[in-house]
Structure formats: C-alpha cells, structure tokens
Structure 1
Amino acid sequence: MDVIVIDTPQLGDRSYLVHDGKHALVIDAQRDIDRVEAAASAAGVEITHVAETHIHNDYLTGGLVYARKHGVAYLVNAADEVAFERTPIADGETVEVGELAVKAVATPGHTHNHLSFVVSHGDQQAVFSGGSVLYGSVGRTDLLGREHMVGLTHDQYASARRLAKEADAAAELYPTHGFGSFCSSGPATGAGGSTLGEQFETNHVYTDADEEHFVSDLIANLTAYPSYYVHMGPGNSAGPGEPDLGVPESLDPKELRTRLEAGEWVVDLRNRVAYASEHLKGTISFEYGNGNSFSTYLGWLFPYDRKLTLVGSREDVENAIRDLSRIGIDSPDAALGEDPRALAPEAAVSSYPRVDWEGMLAERRPDEVILDVRRADEYEASRIEGAVNIPLHELLTRLDEVPAGRLWVHCGSGYRSGVAASLLERAGHDVVQVDDAFDRAAAAGLPIAA
C-alpha cells in the first residue's frame, strides 16, 4: 500500500490517494480535481473509488465531479442526506479496491455522520480519520450549531476509542484536517505524520482519562471560525460542479473605474507594501502568496452575493481563482496588471503610511487610537495596553464602533492589519498600518497587558 498526500496548505487540509500499485482510492478530494488526476497519472494507477469522511464545512469537495467524470464509485455515508446519486456506505461495511480492504468506521464528533476509513493491505494498515483524530487533537465540534456541540464533543471522545479498537497501534494515521484548518480544535500540532499509537501517548483525546474534563476543556478553547463555512455544508450536500479555473479577459479601464466608484468588491492581490505605497482608491488589499491567509480571510469577509474583481499579475490572479473555487467563490472578473495608474488612468489613487513598532512609538500621538484586529481570544491572551479590539472578521459589521481620529492598525503578523487598513481607508478613516509581528511589541518598548 502506498499513500500519496495531496496537500492544500491554503486551507490547512489534505486529500489522499491510496493504492496497491494498480488500483486506487481517493479520500476527501478538493474541488480542483486536476491535482488528483495528475497524481494518479504519475503513480500509474487507476482510481476506482472516491470516498468522503464527512460532508465538509471548510471546502467544497471534488469527489462528485471526479466520480461523474471518470465513472467511478462515490462512497458517501448512507445516513447523509444528499441531492445526488452516490454509493452509500455505512459503519462496518468493507469495500475492495484492488488488493486493498477499505472498512468504514462510524466516528461521529466533527459531524453526526462522520466516517473514518481503515485501509488494510496484507499486514499494512492505515487510518484515514478525516476530522476525527488529528495529530495532537480532534476536529472541532461546534460547526453544526452550539446546540449540538456538547453531544458531539462526547462523541469525539468515544470515537477516538472506537478507532483504537478498530486499528492497530502501528497503523499510519492520515487526518484531513489539522494543518492550519479552522476545522481543527485544541492543540493540533500540524505534524507531518504519525501513527495511531503515537497519538495514544500524545493526543489529549487519549491522554485525558476524564471525559467530562476533556469535553469542557475542548469547548472552552474553541475560537471563531470563517463565516464562509456556512456555505460549504449545503454546497457539498447539493453536489458541487466542476469549477472554471480559466483567467478571464482583463477589464477595460473604464469598467474598472466604474466598479470602484460604485463601491464594488475590487481586490488588489499585490503585496501589502506595494499596496500601502500606491493603490486604486476603493480597492481592498488581500495580499496573495505570502503564507496561507488569502482564501481564509477573503472568504471570511466577502459577501457571497456580490461580484468579485481581482487585480494583479496573471499568475496571482490564476492562483487566486483556483484557491477561491475551493470555497465556492467562482468566476471572478479580473484586471490584469500591477501598475494602478496604468490599469485605470482616470481613477483616483491613494496611499497610507506603514510602520513597524519602533515607527509607531516615534510618530504616534498619545491621543491616537491603537486598533487591534486580532481575534478576541488573541487579544485576551496578550495585548497592548489601551488598544481597542475589533477583530478583522467583525470589522465590516462594526464600522460604527471604530473610533474617530487617526488609527494605528495592527494584528499578529501584518497580514490582517493590511486588510483592515484598506477596509478602513475605504470607509473614510485616516489609517497607519503597523506591519510588524505582535511578538516583537514588548521588545520594541510597547506596554503589554495579559
């Protein structure tokens, strides 16, 4: 048995291609299935089955598209209510994929109908745990509503023990979440690999012998998650179509100017340094290619009923289109180029200052507000004394709470403060972006409260 990891760091998830040298199974495929097709071609194997561990909350699946396109079986829990034909599978059932035996094991917790798959090939064994047991923790249990959270957290605890009975300690463990996805909970480590047995020794779902303590501790540490999740479950139950990943023709300058003046969502993909220096007035800064924040934060803030226009290089636009398709933002328009004045010569341009902590200390007046746009849990753990906290993901709905006067906007690394500064400037505020790591603030001389 060989397992090929198809990593999607932009969302913090993994898909898997599992094969015996001839026949293969795909587990939790992302929507852009050309990566799955390329992996199968490179391995010289034929995919005969596609499987889902659960109806995903953080991305749209490519499982249905792949199954229809290639005429293969699509394994989805028989208990899930879906609007498409699938090959139903239930707890305890085993499917043969070439020489592989694929057993479905009910592991509710992340969702009610969550399955894990225990795959055996001779004396080899692997566990594909989806959003059940992760490296260091388990999948979060609040995505189906707070009313289900306590019961699902108890289910996670029981499901981990069910997996321990269904698979050997030496079995390699392959979770879908836990690599940066907000579907993770608690202290997920993001490790590159692990066995089930290693998790027995290190994962709090196994090391905490008190189920009530585990439940209360996990729930207490759940933090905010992206608002676009609300679209993913229904989209996956309905059956996502194949995305159009092509780059559209560039908008002409007049049309781009019209959209800016109308207040439409026009997103500048350039790095935040270039954006702060000069940008088309009315655009919003979502830097592409610096870490894996783009999809998460754009999806978190973007109103799904609006039209999106991307501004940037052809390469960045192409990559952004692929990333956004995974969360159901399809077919954005584009203005190709990185020179704001050339893209729309008659449109207004703007800029705002960008500083580090030392710059803020040197230039800020005592009466000017420091605006912290990190999540509330980050702010509560450690903050600059006197800073006002409005998390980035709440900013658009709380603009009336933003203090008057010049704002010194910071976050944890500079990415979110860049987005926030652009939104605030767009709303008419006088902003300075603090583009620095929060963990440098104390050393730079800022007073820190905890």
Structure 2
Amino acid sequence: MVEIIPIDTATLGDRSYVVHDGKVAFVVDPQRDIDRVLAVLEDRGVRLTDVFETHIHNDYVTGGLALAQLTGAAYHVNAADEVSFERSPIQPGHTILVGAMKVRAVATPGHTFTHLAYALDAPDETPAVFTGGSLLFGSTGRPDLLGPANTGELVHAQYASAHRLAEELPDETRVFPTHGFGSFCSATQAEGDSSTIGHEKQANPVLTQPEQEYVDALLAGLDVYPAYYAHMGPANAAGPEEPDLSEPSRADAAELRRRIEAGEWVVDLRNRTAFAAGHVGGTLNFGLDGGFATYLGWLIPWGTPLTVLGATADDVATAQRELIRIGIDRLEAAATGSPGEWTDRELQSYMTADFTDLAQVRHHRPVVVLDVRRTQEWAEGHLEGAVHVPLHELLDRIGDVPDGEVWVHCAAGYRASIAASLLAAAGRQVVPIDDDYAKAAPAGLPIVTPEMTAS
C-alpha cells in the first residue's frame, strides 16, 4: 500500500511530500529543514531512494541536495535547469521506478520555464500527481516571478500545462501541489485541502475559463511578492548545504545595545501586545505568531546582521528554523527571558488601539492615519484621509509619513505592529491599531471605495 505523507510548512504556505510503499520512499520538494523528512522515514521504517524537485523554487531554499547527499538518494532535477551541483537529470517523459511505484515526469512550464509535475502510478492504487507550482487547488502558480519580460509567455504556458494534466490524467487522479496554502508563489489561495483532476476540471478557472479570460483575470489579480524571493533561485541553483541549527551565541544587554547602535537588526519575537507593553528601544517586532519569516525576509536589507530576542530558547529555535528556510543561515546572537533582562535602560512602550478608538480620537485632535496594506488591498477600499505606504516600502519611505502622532493599521494587526516598531525605532510617536479592518466602517470611519474614486 502506497502512503503519501504531506509535510506542511504553514508559515510559508508550502507542502513537501514523502511517498513510500512500505519499503522504499521518494520525496517531492523538500524544505530546507530536512530533519522533518528524516523523522518520517525513520518512523515508517523505509529507505529513501529518490528526491524529486518540481522546479527551482522561488520562495524557499530547498533541502533536496542535502537530503540526497545524506541518504545516498538520487536527486532528480530537470536536465534543462542550469545548476552548479551533481544531480540525476530528468526530462519530461522519463519514468523512475521507486519500488513498486512508477514516477513519470510531465512538462508543466508556467510557474517557471522548466517546471515538471510528477505522475504517480502503483498497482491497485488511485493515481496521483505532484504538481508543484503548476495546477493548484482552485488556482495555478503565479507566472511573474521570473520578471515581467517572461510573464506573458509563462502565463499562457501555465494554461497549456494545466490542460495537459487534465487531458493526460484520469479524473480520479489525486492532486498534490507544493504551493497554494498561503505561499506568494500562488496566484490565489487554495480552496479546500484536497482535490482531484476531475474536481479541478469543474472548479479551477484555468480549466473552466477560455484562455484569454483566465490570463486577464490572473494577471489583474497579481500583487507584489516578498523581496527575498530574488535570492532563492540563485541559492537553489548553487546547491544549498544542510543547514546549521545549532544554538546561536547568547548576547547580554551591553552587546545588544552595541548591535542596535551599529545599525544591526535586533528582532523581538514576542507577540505585538507584549511588545507594545514594554520593549528595548531600537528593537523591531516580528512576532512568531504571524508571518514571521515572510515579512522579516521581505523587509530586512539582505545581509544585515540579525539577532533575535525570545521569551524561551524554543522561541529562538523556532525563529532560527523559519529563517534558514529562506536562506538566512546564521543568527549573530540571541537572548532569552524578558525585556528587563535585555537592557540596562528604561523600557519603551506605546499604547495600542482599535478602530473605535481611532474614530473617537479623530473628533478630538488631528492624527496621522497610516495604512500599510499592499496596494491592491488599498485600491479595494481605504479610510478617508489615510496615508498609504505599503509595509514593504516603509523603510525607504519613512520620510513620507507626515509629522505627528501616527496611528497605523493593516488588515488585522500583525503588519501594523511591524510598522509601528519600525517607526518607533526611527523616533516617531506611534499607536498601532490591533483590529480587523472590517470593523472600521461599523466604527463610523468613512471608507473610500473604488466606486467613489471612479465617480
């Protein structure tokens, strides 16, 4: 009996897969922290013989090469991909036997030019296909990550690839994508937690809409993606080594102060409520309770020395694991405990608020309202009189935020807390709004909509 075991990386919106027949196994698109894969192999008592990559990934550093080297498995990467390491090149149409299982490579360009899907057949088993960043649940992978010059060609290729899978594979074929669970590699987010080719034929726009209608809608819906993506492809083509997850050195209060004053990043991992209540001046808040690695990787000037502050050693270890997945391989230092242990100076704090508080305060005094949501979110509706600086642009545009007390909001509070910490570190008076944007209008705050703008 064949078992397909997903390994979720929810914080990046991706899945890897371990597939075995009780004796031997293969892995598809492993994340950097391969100890999770090794634990599954050990638990099932199976031997890894093959590792398959659907594409050179744009949103994380792969663990494929390190996993193959550690286990002696064959590492299958498209023969057309230009890489700096030894691999077992595979081409569309090639079939690899893994025990009783047959794994066939299918050309599915669109997310990248050399993207492959892998169709799985085994005796007395329902067929399956590992689609990587091609056919997703109710969507497809985005075609713009290789630059605007390639987007037009790739989006049409993505349409053709989805139809190739739908035509070649039986309707009962189970679909196992890598992206689509929150990853910015997906054109939209996944619908449901499982699917089949037959279901996608009925529900996925790429298979239900005419080609140009699909192309136009997909391109119109694309928004920005994290800046660190630019570093992922080159890192994966170079062949990432096994990550170092050993404990970082510990920093005392004096060292933390030196690092902050030197312009390094010292990041507080606690949640936004705790950070607002008391934190070390100059530290930045990227809580582990949100999109920690995505937003830190997006905002940090690449290569900036990074130190983290966590309530526990487990928090530091979690942050370290998240960061190696996007190629931030080593922390400069870390500290654990409470803010009072991280500084010999007075702690800083600021109040938090909700949209009802904002509606009330605007009746009494002028404040700057800063919206740090992405441009697409802003265009769908925003507070009247708000200033818009997307979070990923804020470091370069702090000077665009008008003078005065800044009340900053996003869609739910996490990004606002990051923005507030950046502004506070720059010496600004801030009030992060820890609230759902949907509550702004009921609180009595005027909203500007696209219809109003058009008129």
Q: Within 2, Cα distance between the matches of 1:233 and 1:251? A: 33
The equivalent of 1:185 in structure 2 is 187
Pair 1:70-2:71 in alignment: yes
Q: Give the CA deviation at 1:366.
A: 4.8
Structure 1 CA distance, aligned partners of 2:60 and 2:70?
A: 20
Q: Higher mean Cα deviation, 136-145 or 358-367? A: 358-367
- Does residue 211 (structure 1) correspond to residue 211 (structure 2)? The answer is yes
After TM superposition, give the deviation of residue 296 of structure 1 in Å: 0.7
Distance of 1:430 and 1:218 partners within structure 2: 40
Structure 2 residue aligned with 1:310: 308
Greater mean alpha carbon deviation, residues 364-373 or residues 386-395: 364-373
TM superposition shift of 1:326: 0.2
Deviations 1:189-235 (A, max 9, x none): 34211111100000000000x21121111111100100000000000
**Within 5 Å, which residues of 2 pair with 1:247-396?**
247-288=247-288, 290-291=289-290, 293-312=291-310, 313-345=312-344, 347-364=345-362, 365-396=364-395
In the other structure, the counterpart of 2:229 is: 229
Residue identity matched to 2:9: T
| Matches of 1:266 and 1:280, distance apart in 2 | 9
Unaligned runs of 5+ in 1: none
For the pair 1:145 / 2:147, whether they are aligned, the reply is: yes
Does structure 2 retain, via aligned residues, the 8 Å contact 1:295–1:323? Answer: yes
**Which has the higher mean CA deviation after the structures are superposed, 93-102 or 214-223?**
214-223
Partner of 1:81: 82
Give the Cα–Cα distance (whole angstroms) in 2 for the partners of residues 326 and 54 of structure 1: 16
Partners in 2 of 1:343 and 1:156 — Cα distance?
50
Give the superposition deviation at 1:341: 2.1
Contact 1:251 1:333 in 2 (8 A): no
Structure 1 SS opposite 2:31: coil
Aligned partner of 1:220 in structure 2 is 220
Q: 1:443 maps to what in 2?
A: 442
Cα distance in 1, alignment partners of residues 356 and 213 from structure 2: 43
- Deviations 1:363-402 (CA, angstroms, capped at 9, x unpaired): 3445311100000100110211111110101101112211
Task: Identify the range of structure 1 (53-62 vs 398-407) with the bigger mean alpha-carbon deviation.
Answer: 398-407
Show the counterpart of 1:5. 6
Partner of 2:238: 238
Work out whether residues 264 and 306 of structure 2, in 8 Å CA contact, stay in contact via their aligned partners in 1.
yes
Contact 2:7 / 2:18 at 8 angstroms: preserved in 1? Answer: yes
Q: Distance in 2 between matches of 1:286 and 1:303?
A: 15
1:405 counterpart = 2:407: no
Per the alignment, do residues 348 and 306 of structure 1 end up closer, same or farther by CA in structure 2, a change over 3 Å counting? farther
Aligned residues of 2:252 and 2:335 also touching (Cα < 8 A): no
Contact residue 95 and residue 104 of structure 2 kept, 8 A: yes
Q: Aligned to 1:327, what secondary structure does the other structure show?
A: coil
Whether contact under 8 Å (1:277, 1:353) holds in the other structure is: yes
Asked if structure 1 preserves the Cα contact closer than 8 Å seen for 2:250 and 2:333, the reply is yes
The whole-number CA distance in structure 2 between the counterparts of 1:77 and 1:248 is 36
What does 1:195-206 align with in structure 2 at a 5 Å threshold?
Answer: 195-206=196-207
CA distance in 2, matches of 1:235, 1:191: 32
Tell me the distance in 1 between the aligned counterparts of 2:346 and 2:207: 58
TM-superposed CA distance for 1:336, in Å, is: 2.3
What is the CA distance between 1:147 and its match in structure 2?
A: 0.6
- Distance in 2 of aligned mates of 1:279 and 1:225: 30
Count of residues in Structure 1 that have an aligned counterpart in Structure 2: 445
Give the letter aligned to residue 164 of structure 1.
A
Q: Please give the secondary structure, in 2, of the residue aligned with 1:280.
A: coil
Counterparts of 2:82 and 2:365, CA distance in 1: 58
Instruction: Give, in angstroms, the shift of residue 252 of structure 1.
Output: 2.0
Distance 1:384 1:257 in 2: 38
CA contact (8 A) 2:182 2:190 kept: no
- What is the distance in 2 between the residues matched to 1:73 and 1:342? 49
**Secondary structure of the residue that 2:27 maps to in structure 1?**
strand
With 376-385 and 245-254 compared, the bigger mean Cα shift is at 245-254
Secondary structure of the corresponding residue to residue 418 of structure 1: helix
- Shift in Å, 1:38: 0.5
Amino acid aligned to 2:179: H
8 Å Cα contact 1:335/1:343 also seen in 2: no
> For the aligned residues, what is the CA RMSD?
1.1
Query: Match of 2:6, SS?
Result: strand
Corresponding residue for 2:131? Answer: 129
Using the size of structure 1 for normalisation, the TM-score is 0.97
**Cα offsets for 1:156-193 (capped at 9, x unmatched):** 0000111112211101000000000000003x334211
Equivalent of 1:163 in 162, 165, 171: 165
**Structure 1 residue matching 2:121: 3-state secondary structure:** strand
Whole-Å separation in 2 of the counterparts to 1:425 and 1:344? 17
| Corresponding residue for residue 453 of structure 2 | none
- Residues 420 and 431, structure 2, Cα contact 8 Å, conserved in 1: yes
Secondary structure of the residue aligned to 1:355 is coil
Letter in 2 for 1:353: M
Opposite residue 242 of structure 1, the aligned amino acid is E
Per-residue CA distance 1:283-313 (angstroms, 9 max, x = gap): 000111x24x111100100112210000112
Q: How far has the Cα of 1:334 moved from its partner?
A: 3.3
CA–CA distance in structure 2, aligned partners of residues 44 and 342 of structure 1: 45
Tell me, in whole angstroms, the C-alpha distance in 1 between the residues paired with 2:239 and 2:177: 23
Q: Distance in 2 between matches of 1:399 and 1:370?
A: 14
Q: Secondary structure at the match of 1:198?
A: helix
Residue type of the partner of 1:5? Answer: P
Which residue does the alignment assign to 1:154? 156
Percent identity between matched residues is 53
Report if the CA contact (8 A) 1:179-1:191 is conserved: no
Residue 361 of structure 1: how far off its partner (Å): 2.2
* More moved, 160-169 vs 125-134: 160-169
Q: Deviations over 1:334-361 (max 9, x none)?
A: 332242222222x452111111112222
The TM-score, its normalising length taken from structure 2, stands at 0.96
Bigger mean CA deviation after superposition, 230-239 or 159-168: 159-168
